[in-house]
Amino acid sequence: MLQSLTQSPSEPQFVQNPYQFYRTARKAGDLFLWTDYDRVSAVSHQAVSAILRDRNWGREIPSEFRQASPEHLEPFMQLERNSMLEMDPPDHTRLRGLVNRAFTSRRVNSLEPEIKRIAECLATGHESQTIELQRSFAEQLPVMVISSLLGVPEEMCGQLLSWSHDMVAMYQANRDLPKELQAAKSAGEFAAFVREQIERKRAEPANDLISDLITAEDEHGRLTSNEMVSTCILLLNAGHEATAYSIGNGIKAIVESGQDPADLLSPARRDATVEEILRFDPPLHIFERHAKRDQSLFGQRFSRGDTVSVLLAAANRDPNVFRSPDDFIPGRTVAGHTSFGAGIHFCVGAPLARLELAVGLSTLFEVHPQLSLTEAPRYADRYHFHGLEELWVSLGNRPTN
Ligand code: HEM
């Protein structure tokens, strides 16, 4: 029998620490009914991993269950309909193949000096000893990197952040009509801007990802102009929102652990530290999948069209997979965390995100080895995103106890 649990996703205590609720939910088994969403939710590592990999569960709602979206959302929905993140095969395979062709590991690895340059620039030159790092560092680094990768002018970064924040408000628990209207407006403006960029690069190709996507499309074809616009916007948005939160969560985890940042982020240890940051406090907590056919899963019957939530961050704290899961232990074996998803939608940008975290965090702590928190950081009320509202730090000596 499926256990029902109630937990408002905007209750302040839950927003600050959702892991307590996940622990309770895990005791209910692999699946439970989250009454606030009226949705069966997968909470164990084995259930989350299985559903993400199972081709009987897709991102697309089966056609007979789809409802027309309200007209005021059309500019936003047009981007969604053409986004590979929202597609199942064969369309997903077609779009993802083209992105993979342009998003090579050679291109990603070549970005290391540029990421370091941007991180140094953001970390230095502060007049005050006490600064706010979420907006001045964590949020800026990924948007500057992804803009440079796609070939979007750097002076557009502020505007990209604003369009992106408006659009991701659509996935948050506290969505309302004013937020929907703003999201649709921003989606329309963003699409018009990206169309212009694509035309510019068609006329004058450069050494960037938009130009590479155009080449891949010319050579391998089969991408509509709406799909091209959606792909660029998906890369720009997915390319910074989650990474920005992860950088902030990573700084918090390192400083609060009391461990030596220079050691944790030394060349020998930094990759393992980044993996533990991603496992311990991931930025994206919940995704959905829809049943493609009638089926049984972990003892429950599902009908075609049913929706389940997969709780990525809960899977990362499953004691059946991770010893002392609530402790931050850089260097532990973390193979199998689900922060980047799993299966066919596994994050395209994972290598870039890992590099940005490794280079960004090591540069920040090299420049400010004495960095310490001046107040307890608070998470923003944006479930299912999990990232800090503000991160106030002192750049000087650590306070002595
Ligand atoms: C720490 C940072 C990041 C995290 C935690 C993260 C997490 C995820 C997750 C969980 C998914 C799968 C969603 C699902 O299965 O429904 C995903 C997909 C995706 N991510 Fe990331 N991501 C990060 C950074 C990035 C970056 C830097 C990019 C850069 C381009 C990116 C681009 C994408 C794209 C395009 C998809 C869709 C893939 C598909 O549908 O096949 N992400 N990401």
**Structural domains of the chain, ranges and CATH numbers in brackets:** 4-394 (1.10.630.10)
354 or 219: which leads in pLDDT: 354
Task: Write out pLDDT tens, residues 103-115.
Answer: 888 889 999 999 9
For residues 153 and 360, what is the distance between their CA atoms, to the nearest angstrom? 21
pLDDT(391) > 50 = yes
Check residue 139 and report its DSSP letter: T
Residue of 228, 286, 347, 354 with the most ligand 1 atoms within 8 Å of its CB, for mutation: 347
Determine the distance separating the centroid of ligand 1 and the alpha carbon of 59, expressed in angstroms. Answer: 14
Cβ-proximal residues to 311 (8 Å cutoff; 6+ apart), any chain: 22, 25, 41, 42, 43, 48, 285, 286
Residues within 6 Å of ligand 1 by CB? 52, 84-85, 96, 234-235, 238-239, 242-243, 246, 282-284, 287, 312, 339-341, 345, 347-349, 352-353
pLDDT(334) > 70 = no
For residues 191 and 75, what is the distance between their CA atoms, to the nearest angstrom? 8
Determine the distance separating the centroid of ligand 1 and the alpha carbon of 185, expressed in angstroms. Answer: 24
The per-residue DSSP string of 264-306 comes to HTSTTTHHHHHHHHHHHS-SB-EEEEEESS-EEETTEEE-TT-
Q: What percent of the chain has pLDDT over 70?
A: 98
For residues 329 and 212, what is the distance between their CA atoms, to the nearest angstrom? 40
For residues 200 and 211, what is the distance between their CA atoms, to the nearest angstrom? 10
Q: How many CB atoms lie within 10 A of CB 107?
A: 16
Determine the distance separating the centroid of ligand 1 and the alpha carbon of 349, expressed in angstroms. Answer: 6
Give the range among 94-108, 138-152, 254-268 with minimum mean pLDDT: 94-108
- How confident is the prediction for the chain on average, in pLDDT? 93
Mean pLDDT to the nearest integer, 305-310: 97
Mean pLDDT to the nearest integer, 348-354: 96
pLDDT value at residue 172: 77
Among 342, 310, 307, CA closest to 61: 307
* Residue 274 token pair: 């980044």
Residue the block writes with tokens 């070549």: 110
pTM, 2 dp: 0.95
Kindly indicate the confidence band of residue 397, based on its pLDDT and cuts at 50, 70 and 90: low
Task: Write out pLDDT tens, residues 294-303.
Answer: 999 999 999 9
Q: Which pairs count as long-range contacts for 389-392, CB under 8 Å and 24+ apart, including other chains?
A: 389/134, 390/132, 390/134, 390/135, 391/132, 391/133, 391/134, 391/138, 391/248, 391/251, 391/252, 392/130, 392/131, 392/132, 392/133
pLDDT(232) > 90 = yes
Determine the distance separating the centroid of ligand 1 and the alpha carbon of 315, expressed in angstroms. Answer: 17
Kindly indicate the confidence band of residue 51, based on its pLDDT and cuts at 50, 70 and 90: very high
For residues 288 and 57, what is the distance between their CA atoms, to the nearest angstrom? 9
pLDDT value at residue 171: 80
Determine the distance separating the centroid of ligand 1 and the alpha carbon of 243, expressed in angstroms. Answer: 9
Q: Whose C-alpha lies nearest to ligand 1, atom 9? A: 340
Give the ligand 1 atom nearest the CA of 235: 30
Mean pLDDT to the nearest integer, 81-104: 91
When mean pLDDT is compared over 72-76, 157-161, 355-359, the highest value belongs to 355-359
Kindly indicate the confidence band of residue 223, based on its pLDDT and cuts at 50, 70 and 90: confident
pLDDT value at residue 400: 43
Determine the distance separating the centroid of ligand 1 and the alpha carbon of 28, expressed in angstroms. Answer: 29
Mean pLDDT to the nearest integer, 227-252: 94
Q: Whose C-alpha lies nearest to ligand 1, atom 23? A: 242
Q: Whose C-alpha lies nearest to ligand 1, atom 37? A: 85
Mean pLDDT to the nearest integer, 193-198: 95
Q: Counting every residue, how long is the chain?
A: 401
Residue the block writes with tokens 């503000």: 390
pLDDT(399) > 60 = no
